Structure formats: structure tokens, C-alpha cells
Amino acid sequence: MADPIGAWPGELVPAGGGEIFVRMPPAPDGAEPALFVHGLGGSATNWTDLIDLLRKPPADRPDEPALACEAMDLPGFGFSPAPRSGLYTIDAMAGAVADLIDKRGRWPVHLAGNSLGGAVCVRVASRRPDLVRTLTLISPAMPDLQPRLLPARVVLLCAPGLGPWLLARAQRMSTADRAAMTIRDVYADPSVVHPMRRAAEVAELARRDGLGYASQALLASARGLVAEYLRWGPRSLWHDAARVTAPTLVIYGSHDRLVRPAMAGVAARHFRGARVVVLPRTGHVAMMERPGLVAREMRELFAAARRRVPASGHSARR
């Protein structure tokens, strides 16, 4: 097993009424902008391997445009400080993502999100279609009220009193044990995780344990997501999905313990003209577990979008 690449460098960017940490590898002039949004409890480093594959044209398609990839830490996660508003709703996160795209001054972007980040990206794409060139969703956390064990854990975190107690109890476990539990939850095959990646996850958990706002960010974000699951009608995420006009790819994992792979059928009915894929032997974080397959699917999406609409893009800053 070859050693993995390190996390891309990053910087704090004024956006969303505060600051957002953005990681980015070098990109040539004229590269198409792309932005990646992580899931609940994740960070920009979740996209490291996929970005490494996407940022350069593949060897068999050297004429494809390069991508200027950026991966953000949602407010309160990774190296992004807690939002000044104190809000962790889907609307607030979508506003932060849209504002970041606006502030970076290069749009429309290829927008990608996983889990919670997928739900956020659906809201952005539906309400700010001018910002989104293509939309890729990996195990998006869209409303699904069928009971499952791991999602029930998220619901319990939202209960007043019980959520903080459960989180405090989990934090009494060693960081190594907590990292191992998370990996078991989100990978179909935890053995594919390189020891260096495991060590990085342990170190990140230890770092976040020392942040005064980390628990609040996790609890409040879980509550914001569950609130969306209970919302129906014109303000629901599935209603947003039906309004998305950007070319869309939705990827599910056959062995996802958090988002039912059967939701692929629901997604196919709501996202107009979307390509919906279920990857075999894959869990909740396909971009980490099967980055090569995800990159191949995303390149097909980008190629189809280029054939459909010539890209004009924008470069002016507002």
C-alpha cells in the first residue's frame, strides 16, 4: 500500500459573515473552478485523494480542461471557526457556500457535496443556479424517514440533554477508538484506510477536542439536518432537488450504513435528467473509499456539461 499524499494547504477566507478555511492545490490559469463540501463531522481533507485525481486531465484525455479545485471546511468544522451568527442550519451553511463562491469571483463552479454537504449543495444549486455549473452528490443526506440504526444516532444527538450526554460519553473513549468507530461506520471495507490516514484522523479528533465550540457545531448541525428531514412542501430539500437545473450526478454506496442505497430510486425521480449511480462494495464516503470510480463518473458529468452548454464563466469579483 503506497503512502497517501498529504492534505492540500489552505487559508482562511472572509465569507459567510465570518471566515472559512479553504484548501486548494495549485491550478493553471484558465482551469475550471470546482468546490467540494464535506459531511457532518468531516472536513476539507475528506476530498484530498479525489481532488488529486481530478485536478489534472487524465492521461487518456490530455485535452480536457484542468480543474481549479477548492475544498472548504464548513463553519465550525475543520479549521473554520464557529460562525458569528451561531447558526448551523442548512440555510445558513448554504448561504456560506454561496457567499464563498461569490467572494472567490469565479463561477459557475463544479459543486460537489457528501452527506450533510450534499444537502447543502442541493439548496445552493436550487436557489443560486447562476453559481453552479454541475452538481455532484455523494450519499447526500436527503430526507428519508425509514428507521436505520446509524441515522437514529444522529436523531438522538438532537434530543435536549441526551445529545450532549451522549457526546460527552463518546468523548471519554480514546481518540483512537473513536476514529476506528467512525471509519467502521462510513467505510464498507475499513481495511482500505491507510495507517497514515488513520493517524491523521486520530490527531484531528484530538485537536478538535480542544476547541470550545466543536461539540456545539456537531450537535447544532445534526439538529439542523434533522429539521430538514421533517420539513415537507415547497421548502423541503426534495422540492429543491426538483428545481435543480445544473447537470447532476448522484452517487450512492451499496453498503452505506447511513444513507440507504435504495434512495437512488427517489433521487432519480426528483433530480431531472440526473445520472444516478450505486457503486458496489462502497460505504458512505465513496470519494475516500473509491476515489478512482468517483473521479471517472465526475469526468463523464463534466464532459456532458461541456457538450450541452459552452462555458462562459465569470471572473469579476463582487
Instruction: Give the pLDDT score at 308.
Output: 78
Q: What is the pLDDT of residue 61?
A: 82
**pLDDT given for residue 279 in this prediction:** 98
Report whether pLDDT(68) > 90: yes
In whole numbers, what is the pLDDT of the chain averaged over residues? 89
Which three cell numbers, joined as nine digits, stand for 85?
451568527
Average pLDDT of span 192-211: 94
pLDDT of 62 over the 90 cut = no
Q: 285 φ, ψ to 5°?
A: -120, 70
Largest CA distance in the chain: 56
| pLDDT, mean of residues 19-33 | 93
Please report which confidence band the pLDDT of residue 314 belongs to, taking 50, 70 and 90 as the band edges: very low
* pTM metric for this prediction: 0.92
**Per residue in 219-246, pLDDT tens?**
899 889 888 888 888 889 999 999 999 9
**Residue 9 CB contacts under 8 Å (≥ 6 apart), including other chains:** 23, 24
- Residue 318, pLDDT > 50, answer no
Encoded amino acid at 18, one letter: G
| pLDDT tens, residue by residue, 164-200 | 655 666 667 789 998 998 999 999 999 999 999 999 9
Of 8-17, 70-79, 227-236, 283-292, the least confident: 227-236
Nearest Cα neighbor of 4 from 229, 315, 289 is 289
**pLDDT tens-place string over residues 267-279:** 999 999 999 999 9
The topology (CATH level 3) of 12-308 is Rossmann fold (3.40.50)
